[in-house]
Structure 1
Amino acid sequence: MLRLALTGGRGFLGWHVRVLARALGWPEPVLVDRDDLRDDVATAAKLAGVDRVLHLAGVNRGDPREVAAGNVELAAALVRGLRRCDTPPPTVVFANSVQAGNGTPYGDSKALAAVTLAAARPDLVDVELPNLYGEHGQPYYNSVVATFCRLLAEQRAPQVDQDRELNLVHVSDAAARLMGAPTQGPWDADMPGLRVGVRELADRLAGFAAVYRGGEIPPLTDRHAVRLFNTYRSHCFPAHYPLPTVRRADARGELVETVKVHGGGGQTFCSTSRPGVVRGEHFHLAKVERFCVLRGTAEIRLRRVGTDEVVRFPVEGTEPVVVDMPTMWVHNIVNTGSTELLTLFWTNELFDAARPDTWAEAVELTPAEPAVAAA
């Protein structure tokens, strides 16, 4: 269990680091904001006593001069804080880029930032990260995956002006590498990459969107397919839910189509809940999970990890709908009726008690459990 300090902790990568720390049961990371970095004493105070500082803050886009100066100054500010710190962290990790030293203002400034940090900390852990993608990335900023997903969620078609090969790594894997996380979860600190062309990526995501628009699950053939699909779903939530079901009735009774999976399986189970009973109170990092109430009245409640706003979906068995749990959102289902609740659950993978990808947390925060603002 490590105590972390993060610069850039409110950004895309920083949020995923904080989510993974939450899953591991580590203390909430200390956030070193840009205001702190302007004050050497404030920075030193926040770094004191932590086990590992992750330097994630950077300037990715904008005026070339601001990009070039910004990355170097952020590194220099961290160095000044480290030098003022009475108990500096044993480990300093820099979220560098594979573009370091490539002749662009961004790449050259990342390389110079690494030199600046290493001059003060020769033991610097310098991790060159490729293109990162994942849930809740900012369109037109964090990655082309986020841009394509947002366009498709808005039922617009991605445009590919120039095709080239990308090496994509899921942001949770990058977070695990930077954190030095153990390997018993759904993350992979070896950062396995997906090599894909931009046009192929657009077509693949468009295929996901076309299938999912009707409530069906597209082929999830490997871990990158699952994570790309989860990334797309993060741009659909909550506006696209609940999803309607197909109902058929005749003299014998009714049939409700709840799950249609293209080229895959998973696990389906049903549970009953007495009035007032709450099920869930956890989140997943990679697992796709679907709820469908078949009898009774309930409310499905969800909260993005690191925030305090709760999204609520009232559902009834008389009008069955499905709600898919977005990854990294704490969720539960509450029987709000006076009779027994019957709920169908589906997940894209068989339950593995050794690697359950189920991380306990309550949807409703107490005053003693304040949320940290998400990216």
Structure 2
Amino acid sequence: MNILVTGAKGFVGKNLIAELKNKGYNNILEFSRESDPALLEEYAERCDFVFHLAGVNRPKDESEFMKGNYDFTSTLLDLLKKYKNKAPVLITSSIQALRDNPYGRSKRAGEQLLFNYDKKTDAKVYVYRLPNLFGKWSKPNYNSVVATFCHNVARDMDIQINNSDAELNLCYIDDVLEEFVRALEDNPTVDNGYCVVPITHCIRLGELANLIKSFKDSRSNLSVPNMDDALTKKLYSTYLSFLPEDKFSYDLKMNVDNRGSFTEFMRTPERGQVSVNVSKPGITKGNHWHHTKNEKFLVVSGEGLIRFRKIDSDEIIEYRVSGKKLQIVDIPTGYTHSIVNVGERDLVTVMWANECFDPDKPDTYFLEV
């Protein structure tokens, strides 16, 4: 199948082409502003499906709206008719087509071209009125407020909010791609004559700004965003895609002494915290117990011995652990416990606790095993 994608180098186009290739569609005819105009005629003759994504939304002159959103669409459809090519055509319009402004009118005119084309040729058309899109490869200060916020926050730049209570209707690029593939397979989601992406998210502008700022703060407070919330998960992935290339990494606070080190890695209020413990050879750490706090130990390097004793018993229980065989050891409540480095090199242990450390309520009581 030959798939024509106009606007191939744009935000949606780049994501779509990558996903089409992931799904085994390799005969992709890419057309963009930089392409030789003659290619459009060649592609219009050969294509079996058209993703018409090209358009204009931030021109220097308002007259360019009609040129980019209407005239180019008209040219494309005329070429398809010239070669009697009834390939299905999917066009990306906008919810702003409902508005009486130059952009909205140009989008509405482009939609009408498609509907008229459908009536005259009996070719299938899929008209998508998309809300505000966001995701990787979107352009800050151009086609996505999410992109602008992510770009600026990641670089310690100010963001401008005129009305923090303004509601946004957002749609994530991966959800768009899933829907577009359904249309390619002739199974689009249709509502009142228009095709729609079924998954959208509403959020106030001020809430959006605060959430994106919290992603930056998570590097210092080690908090993990709530990935159980679909919008938060998608926004966090988008934020990471805007990190400056020299800022992918960040330092952690290592608590170091002559025994080794202890470094907190991440924390969540719902799922506790994860830390990395390094012990020098011969060193014992722990010798304490908890009422409610419980832990999991995973030795990833070195040789260790984890010892337990119920606080009202003399019996000692031992577990030999090694980075050569990864296994998790649960640390039950009511047992004093320790971990000893019995090897000849550093013992590295990943430790999870069911609650974040609270210095005012540590729930940790010294008692030798």
What is the TM-score with the length of structure 1 in the denominator? 0.63
Match of 1:168 in 2: 170
Report the Cα offset of residue 165 of structure 1: 0.8
Please state whether the residue corresponding to 2:93 is helix, strand or coil: strand
Does structure 2 conserve the Cα–Cα contact (< 8 Å) formed by 1:220 and 1:263? Answer: no
CA contact (8 A) 2:153 2:216 kept: yes
> Per-residue deviation at 1:3?
4.2
Decide whether the 8 Å contact of 2:212 with 2:235 is kept in 1: yes
In structure 2, do the counterparts of structure 1 residues 263 and 209 end up closer, same or farther at CA, with 3 Å as the change threshold?
A: farther
SS at match of 2:266: coil
Deviations 1:305-341 (A, max 9, x none): xxxxxxxxxxxxxxxxxxxxxxxxxxxxxxxxxxxxx
Shift of residue 250 of structure 1?
A: 2.8
| 1:64-143 alignment, distance < 5 Å | 64-85=62-83, 88=85, 90-122=87-119, 123-143=124-144
Residues 95-130 of structure 1, C-alpha deviation per residue, up to 9 Å, x if partnerless? 111111411111111111111233223331111111
Instruction: Return the letter of the residue paired with 1:57.
Output: A
SS at match of 1:196: strand
**Partner of residue 298, structure 1:** none
Q: Distance in 2 between matches of 1:264 and 1:159?
A: 34
Contact 1:5 1:31 in 2 (8 A): yes
**CA distance in 2 between partners of 1:84 and 1:182 (Å):** 23
Contact 1:98–1:129 (8 Å) recurs in 2: yes
Letter in 2 for 1:169: C
* 1:44-82 per-position Cα deviation (integer Å, ceiling 9, x unaligned): 322344332111000001222211332111101211221
* 1:166 maps to amino acid: L
CA distance in structure 2 between the aligned counterparts of 1:167 and 1:104, rounded to whole angstroms: 19
What is the CA–CA distance in structure 2 between the aligned matches of 1:261 and 1:65, rounded to whole Å? Answer: 51
TM-superposed deviation, 1:233: 0.9
Deviation at 1:215, TM superposition (A): 5.3
> Percent of aligned pairs with the same residue?
27
Task: Measure, in 1, the Cα distance between the counterparts of 2:79 and 2:19.
Answer: 26
Separation of aligned partners in 2, 1:108 and 1:220: 39
Aligned to 1:27: 26
Distance 1:6 1:36, change over 3 A: same
Q: Which structure would you say has the larger RCO, counting Cα contacts within 8 Å and 6 or more residues apart?
A: 1
1:168-317 matched pairs, under 5 angstroms: 168-180=170-182, 190-213=197-220, 216-261=223-268, 263-264=270-271
Alpha-carbon separation, structure 2, partners of 1:25 and 1:162: 44
In the alignment, residue 167 of structure 1 is paired with which amino acid? Answer: N
Which residue number in structure 1 is paired with residue 11 of structure 2? 12
Q: Distance in 1 between matches of 2:273 and 2:234?
A: 16
Gaps of 5+ in 2: 186-195, 276-299, 302-347, 351-369
Report if aligned partners of 1:92, 1:121 keep a CA contact under 8 Å in 2.
no
Q: Is the 8 A contact 2:150 2:212 kept in 1?
A: yes
User: Which whole-Å deviations, capped at 9, do the CAs of 1:342-369 have from their partners, x for residues lacking one?
Assistant: 999xxxxxxxxxxxxxxxxxxxxxxxxx
Change in CA separation of 1:147 and 1:101 when aligned onto 2, cut-off 3 Å: same
- Partner of 1:260, secondary structure, is strand
Deviation of 1:26 (Å):
2.2
2:49 touches 2:184 (CA, 8 Å); kept in 1? no
Which whole-Å CA distance do the structure 2 matches of 1:49 and 1:265 have between them? 57
Post-superposition Cα deviations, 1:192-214, rounded to whole Å, max 9, x if no partner, equal 11111111111111122212355
Aligned partners of 2:35, 2:245: CA distance in 1, in Å?
A: 34
Listed one character per residue, the Cα deviations across residues 140-189 of structure 1 (whole Å, up to 9, x for unaligned) are 11111111111101112322112411110001211222232799xxxxx8
Deviations 1:5-57 (A, max 9, x none): 11001000111111221332321521122365844xx3232234433211100
- State the aligned residue count: 266
1:224 and 1:267, CA in 2 relative to 1: closer, same or farther beyond 3 A? farther
**How far, CA to CA, are the matches of 2:198 and 2:274 in structure 1?**
27
What is the rounded CA distance, in whole Å, between the counterparts of 1:68 and 1:162 in structure 2? 30
Check whether the contact 1:221–1:264 (CA below 8 A) recurs between aligned residues.
no
Match 1:54 to one of 51, 54, 57: 51
Deviations 1:253-288 (A, max 9, x none): 2333333345458999xxxxxxxxxxxxxxxxxxxx
Structure 2: distance between partners of 1:103 and 1:200: 28
> In structure 1, what residue type is equivalent to 2:171?
V
Question: Which has the higher Rg, Structure 1 or Structure 2?
Answer: 2
Give unpaired runs (5+ residues) of structure 1.
Answer: 184-188, 269-293, 296-341, 345-375
Distance 1:193 1:168, change over 3 A: same
